[in-house]
Amino acid sequence: MHNTTWSKTLRDYLKKRENKSKNVSKSSNEEELEIFTCLYKQFKGLQEDHVNVPSLYSKLPSEDEPLLLKLREESRALFLQRRSRELLDNDELQKLWFLLDKHHTHPLHGDEQMISYDDFLRVQEEAGQKCKSFFQASVFCKLLQSDPFGRISIMQFFNYVMRKVWLHQTRIGLSLYDVAGQGYLKEPDLENYILELIPTLPQLNGLERSFYSFYVCTAVRKFFFFLDPLRSGKIRIQDILACSFLDDLLELRDEELSKEMQESNWFSAPSALRVYGQYLNLDKDRNGMLSKEELARYGTGTLTDVFLDRVFQECLTYDGEMDYKTYLDFVLAMENRREPQALRYLFRILDVQHQAYLNVFSLNFFFRAIQEQMKIHGQEPIKFQDVKDEIFDMVKPSNPLRLTLNDLIRSGKGDTVVSILIDLNDFWTYENREYLVPDLSDEV
């Protein structure tokens, strides 16, 4: 047994020597590469190749690593430029429209040109590689409606392509301001984007440059109020694209936008000037901030003192006074009370005990101020018990003793509940709603 082991060891040794002699002819480059690889692994403390699994997470370079930051910035810019070149430009869109018009399928559907799936594929062959992603069977099926010949509208398809191109262009444009490269924008990032967008919007040509900072602040607050209700300080680019705010903002490219459309658009010059003008009118001592007494004149001037006290307790203030940015959040909440984000803002103010729900104590705490204002104006106060029962009947909460934010949102009556607790004028309007609404039966 012993001799067998030695003979096997000897044979193995001779075999290794033989293999080594065969590899003597290996090139010097290969030897250098092996030596370099070995030394590099030792220097980096790396183990064998099968253990060196690539990391799924790479830490972002810090401010102390300017070279890495610059490298990351340049690589992202090159990537976005490459993606931008993959999009259809104006000439290519015109060519696509020409091909669709050329290959449309008869007969017309009313005044609309239609195209069958066979002709749809013919256009794909002539349109080129850039258009390939638009000519999918799934896209054709999405646009298919009630045409008896199984065709789709050329105009609808072209609008679909235009919308897709616009979304990709906008995403790339927003991504250029994404400093962290993580798919979201912080407040300074969005401010820079809107500031550089102003010269491209004809409807804002009349704004003085000195007002730009206030305009940008006004525009950015709407994005963050509705898309960042938890105040994380950042908004996903995906969420910006999914909402309608960018559409409203880019609507200002239309030089013939009607006065009514401008007044209803938060981002228009008249709207921004209106909000800022209100702020200046409220600021009686001209110190650039609003005290509780100054904010009390907001709207019809009938907000209760209790509500205003809670606003200044819960919102960010400076030496007990409110700046323009905090005022914008307040205005957005008051003007959009039906929206969940506005209700979240107002619910935080109404939740005196910070219990994440409103109970009878909370409701009575605010309604007492309404009763006191009614006495001041010579009106007979309404009993709290009646109002409380009416509120619970409207909301129908899951727990009959408390109202949560979800209860208010789900009921669709959250704006009404909030209004009758914080504003005498709104409460009076609600109480007299039957007399204020015209009787349609009499008109008929």
Please tell me the predicted confidence (pLDDT) of residue 395.
95
Please tell me the predicted confidence (pLDDT) of residue 31.
74
One domain, residues 151 and 90: yes
Q: Which of 133, 131, 153 is nearest to 143 (CA)?
A: 153
- How confident is the model over 169-199, as pLDDT tens digits? 999 989 989 877 889 999 999 999 999 999 9
- The mean pLDDT value for 21-41 works out to 68
Examine the fold and report which residue of 282, 300, 323 is the final residue of a domain before the chain moves on. 282
Name the average pLDDT for the chain.
Answer: 87
One domain, residues 189 and 159: no
Examine the fold and report which residue of 165, 192, 226 is the final residue of a domain before the chain moves on. 165
One domain, residues 345 and 427: yes
- The mean pLDDT value for 276-295 works out to 95
- pLDDT of 137 above 70: yes
Is 206 a member of any domain? yes
One domain, residues 348 and 428: yes
Residue 298 burial (C-beta neighbours within 10 Å; 0-12, 13-18, 19+): buried
**Residue 108 structure tokens:** 């017309």
* Count: domains in the chain: 3
Domain that holds residue 181: 177-282
The whole-angstrom separation of Cα 301 and Cα 426 is 11
Beta carbons of 259 and 243 less than 8 angstroms apart: no
Higher pLDDT, 329 or 436: 329
Is 366 a member of any domain? yes
The predicted model scores a pTM of: 0.78
> Which residues are within 8 A (CB) of 121 and not within 5 positions of it... i.e. 6 or more apart?
135
One domain, residues 349 and 430: yes
One domain, residues 193 and 156: no
Q: How confident is the model at residue 51 (pLDDT cuts 50, 70, 90)?
A: low
DSSP string for residues in 332-352: HHHHTTTSHHHHHHHHHHH-T
**Residue 328 structure tokens:** 């914008």
Please tell me the predicted confidence (pLDDT) of residue 436.
60
Report the 10 Å Cβ neighbour count for 95: 16
One domain, residues 133 and 189: no
Helix ranges restricted to H, 396-432: 405-411, 414-422, 424-431
Number of residues in the chain: 444
- How confident is the model over 242-268, as pLDDT tens digits? 999 999 998 999 888 888 999 999 999
One domain, residues 270 and 223: yes
Is 371 a member of any domain? yes
Q: How confident is the model at residue 23 (pLDDT cuts 50, 70, 90)?
A: low
One domain, residues 276 and 181: yes
Examine the fold and report which residue of 235, 256, 282 is the final residue of a domain before the chain moves on. 282
Is 275 a member of any domain? yes
Is 133 a member of any domain? yes
Domain of residue 405, CATH code? 1.10.238.10
One domain, residues 277 and 191: yes
- Name 115's bridge partners: 152
**CA angle, 325 then 328 then 333, to 5°:** 135
Is 331 a member of any domain? no
Max CA separation in the chain (angstroms): 121
One domain, residues 153 and 199: no
Distance of CA 148 to the CA centre of its chain: 40
Helix ranges restricted to H, 57-152: 66-85, 90-102, 117-127, 137-143
Domain of residue 261, CATH code? 1.10.238.220
Is 383 a member of any domain? yes
One domain, residues 181 and 271: yes
Is 54 a member of any domain? no
